[in-house]
Chains A and B, each alone.
Chain A
Amino acid sequence: QLQLQESGPGLVKPSETLSLTCTVSGGSISSSSYYWGWIRQPPGKGLEWIGSIYYSGSTYYNPSLKSRVTISVDTSKNQFSLKLSSVTAADTAVYYCARHLLGSSKVDPWGQGTLVTVSS
């Protein structure tokens, strides 16, 4: 059974860079056809797609965040990572990693999510 688990600091200072890693277990991140993405949910609000990466390194980013986002993949560790620079309080959210097909909003499975708070 494929499982995803987010890890990283739960508190980040304003203007700094948020860094998270997603570890995939029970399957290979190098599976063809699947993209690995990051989705966030501010407290009490809806879901926002941040970006996705293919195991080859091909990436797609939400245009609203593109200037601040970098997603990378490490196939040897079965992991992919998110970096979001110049964070503000508006970036406070639960961050989920998940799998989906290119061209599909069928996201499954999801990681359990990790709350990242931006505060000094």
Chain B
Amino acid sequence: QSVLTQPPSASGTPGQRVTISCSGSSSNIGSNTVNWYQQLPGTAPKLLISSNNQRPSGVPDRFSGSKSGTSASLAISGLQSEDEADYYCAAWDDSLNGPVFGGGTKLTVL
């Protein structure tokens, strides 16, 4: 049971816009920034969005993040086949005194 709640799956067709939600609590998302990770099959997670809505160098602007209260969202526009991956949200948890992760969302490009 992950501390942050994500839908287990999401899907879309090429070119579409999809969003992935992440729900937490006042001790994590409510008081700290959210980061998003992309994990391609058989590889380590890669930082996709930092500090709620910042894209690291090299991440296409098709990816965007937002946060409101104790929830956050990742949006992917202009969906491409190479976006098929698992996506994880994360936030520091003040009670745990460590980072917590969502259970991951498997994105399928139909």
Q: Which residues of B contact A49 (CB under 8 A)?
A: 96, 98-101
Q: Are B44 and A113 in contact (CB under 8 A)?
A: yes
Check if A111 is an interface residue, CB within 8 A of chain B. yes
B87 to chain A, nearest CB (A): 11
Q: Given the complex, which residues of B lie within 8 Å of A111, measured CB to CB?
A: 44
- Which residues A62-80 have CB closer than 8 A to chain B? 62-63
Q: How many A-B residue pairs have CB under 8 A?
A: 69
B contact residues, range: 20 to 34
Instruction: List 17 extra interface pairs beyond A46-B103, A49-B99, A49-B100, CB under 8 A.
Output: A46-B2, A46-B102, A47-B37, A47-B101, A48-B101, A49-B98, A49-B101, A51-B98, A60-B97, A62-B96, A105-B32, A105-B99, A106-B33, A106-B47, A107-B37, A112-B44, A113-B44
